[in-house]
Amino acid sequence: MRILVHASAFNSLTQRVTVELAHQGHLTAVSLDLGGGPRGDAELREAIRRHRPELIVAPMLTTAVPEDVWSRHVCLIVHPGPPGDRGPSSLDWALSEGRRSWGVTVLQAVAEMDAGDVWAAEAFDIPEHAAGGGIAKSDLYRNELADAASAAVLRAVERYASGAYRPRPAPPGVARPWFRQDRRQIDWSAEGTDAVARKLRTADSSPGVLDTLGGREYFLYGGQPEDELHGSPGALLATRDGAVCRATVDGAVWLTAARPRRTPGGPPTAKAPAAGVLAAAGLLRGVPEVGVRLRPHHKRQTWATVRYAEHGGVGLLRFSYPGGAMSTGDCRRLLAAYRYARNRPTRVLVLGAHRDVFSHGIHLGAIEAAPDPARESWANINAMDDLVEAILTTEDKLTVAALGGNAAAGGLMLALAADEVWVRSGAVLNPHYRLMGLHGSEYWTYTLPRRVGPEQALRLTTDALPLGPERALELGLVDRVLRCTPERVPDHVAELAEALATDPRLPRRLAAKRGALRRAEGRRPLAWYRAEELALMHRNFYGPDDEYHRLRRAFLHKVSPGATPERLRRIVA
């Protein structure tokens, strides 16, 4: 069928639905709502005229479909709640109430929001530690909710295409209001760790929890509980890897990011690592940096971006960064951990193996917050390159990048440095830099063509469109699709890696790897690729007419494009 995907943003869920519909053989194109109102309605009508869809699917829509559209076309709206749930903050309410299960409903657009006939619904479990422990709302949205939404959309489209299915009326329901800041407010003098963590996790990655520090208002993000540090409620106790530990009445939580609230008439602000934001305001004088062991003696509740463990002949270097953004410091710390893991007596070394986002590359928020964004960009990309080089030149181990979730730009190219790339079904991959006005580095001009060929590498980086795991497997971009739930990713990867480590063919594979690396170095040294890439990146960062800085700010400040980008208007094949 000809399907128009209409959405308020081309976010992770919109991308996933688009690529999965295309993989099912549907001819799809995208229309962005552009903030609603007359302009958004006009954009939708023009897309309908251009694409002539048989069906409209809206995976993520914050405004109403105009009557002249829904009365003439079947429009399927994805609502992030079970049948009967209504309102704009469904997942926030579910997490704040401690729900153990939730759902997604695909319903037909009518005059009343969330009240149309139901075409499909899919339930999903909320992991026990979702809001109060280790999983944030954004993680749940990208994973369990996205899995349910994908299944429900594909079932609804199949039912519509059959011509025989009749949707059922939506159950009666009352729309709940926006989950506003007055419900998120934290009383640091009275609330315990579990309550504070739940509020922070429910507000991640949007809108954050509004709070006051040092007389200025900030939106705070994070919520990982801390089990050792204690202090006066509300006090800032320690920093670690860009995060800040703040005391509750019975413990402490880690704040991973912060954004100063925009002052009336002032410039827009961007989210950045909490330690940098609060240090710039002079709020961290005397607050110590407190490390954590790479291999803790016992299971802890604390903030740690990198952990290492061993199982037989397998080393597991697990890492996870908020939103997948890796600052200069993050890259350097991960490189130090990688060097430690590389020197261990293991045969297989796994990178990632964590649920949710693998990496999205350099940390645009930290760069924007830096005194000299160009200089910080240069430091960040060189730190990424150092990490990739260490992986590429590892000769005595088979390396595996295990992607439990999405990856993009330099983060995906980081994965391609490994010998094998495994990705969970349902992840979205974006192998390009173009949308940020960057040429890109991370040795991608070496790793991407050797996997997919030079012509396909050029197409992927130029078209700047997302890929699903199945298509990536067909192209040779990845080697294995992990068909498991998000919660199963760490254990499933460990099991597969242990089988790889005991494979009798492994010594021959390692010998072949060493030979291939030597031959590649003889043809063109790795240093050549890095130098060529960085020469162009230097121009991106320091060139007087380059678009990178403008595009970075537009991305961070969520500036709406003037129209749906041409790359999305085309039919996505």
Query: Where do we find the tokens 């192209």?
Result: 475
| Long-range contact set of residues 367-372: C-beta below 8 Å, sequence gap at least 24 | 367/552, 368/270, 368/272, 368/552, 368/553, 368/556, 369/270, 369/272, 369/273, 369/276, 369/277, 369/280
User: How many CB atoms lie under 10 A from the CB of residue 225?
Assistant: 22
pLDDT of residue 572: 59
Residue type, 404: G
pLDDT for 328 beyond 60: yes
Show the tokens assigned to 499. 């089988």
Q: 486-512 burial by CB neighbour count: b if 16+ within 10 A, else e?
A: bbebbebbbebbbebbeeeebeeebee
Report how far residue 150's alpha carbon sits from residue 123's, in angstroms, rounded to the nearest whole number. 12
Label residue 132 by pLDDT band (50, 70, 90).
very low
Contact 108, 468 (CB under 8 A): no
pLDDT of residue 129: 60
**Segment 108-116 mean pLDDT:** 94
Label residue 131 by pLDDT band (50, 70, 90).
very low
The model's pLDDT over 12-64, given as tens digits with 9 standing for 90+, comes to 999 999 999 999 999 999 999 987 778 889 999 999 999 999 999 999 999 99
Label residue 455 by pLDDT band (50, 70, 90).
very high
Cα 110–chain centre separation? 32
Label residue 297 by pLDDT band (50, 70, 90).
confident
The model's pLDDT over 236-267, given as tens digits with 9 standing for 90+, comes to 999 999 999 999 999 999 999 999 999 999 99
Mention every residue, 6+ apart, whose C-beta is less than 8 A from residue 81: 87, 90, 91, 94, 102, 103, 104, 105, 114
- Residue 143: C-alpha distances to residues 129, 357, 368, 486, 568 (Å): 15, 9, 28, 6, 24
The model's pLDDT over 67-77, given as tens digits with 9 standing for 90+, comes to 999 999 999 99
Report how far residue 403's alpha carbon sits from residue 423's, in angstroms, rounded to the nearest whole number. 4
pLDDT of residue 542: 96
Calculated CA dihedral for residues 189, 195, 198, 202, nearest 10 degrees: -60
* Whether pTM exceeds 0.75: yes
